[in-house]
Amino acid sequence: MSQTELKNKLSKHLFWDIDTDSLDVEQHAQLLVQRVLERGEMSDWRFILDYYGLPRIVQECKQMRSLDPVCLSYICLISDTRKEDYRCYHFKQSNPTLWNS
């Protein structure tokens, strides 16, 4: 699958604020993975899983500063990794909010 095919197959609502013509699938992999995990449909997940593969998706997720807790749990479950391995887990712990303290 090429970059153009992937961009055409993904749901349009994921990138309503971005010009998809200027979107580079390799350079902006973290953005694509996060949008699909947090707001995508199951078909979008299958497309990025086929394109990137699970190891690359896990690698991109480990570098994210923020990720929805449900998405983080899902990635940990399917990849057999620990939450402590992810940057977003530690970043959230070091910045507690007033209503969660």
User: pTM for the complete prediction?
Assistant: 0.81
Phi-psi group of 2: left, alpha or beta (phi > 0 → left; psi -120 to 50 → alpha; rest → beta): beta
Q: What is the DSSP letter of 1?
A: -
How many C-beta atoms surround the C-beta of residue 59 within 10 A? 15
Q: How far apart are CA 10 and CA 8, in angstroms?
A: 6
Two tokens at 39? 């707001």
Q: What is the pLDDT of residues 63-86, one digit of tens each?
A: 998 888 899 999 999 999 999 888
pLDDT (0 to 100) of residue 99: 64
What Rg do the C-alpha atoms of the chain give, in angstroms?
A: 14
Average pLDDT (53-60) is 94
Annotated domain spans of the chain: 3-96
pLDDT above 70 (res 94) = no
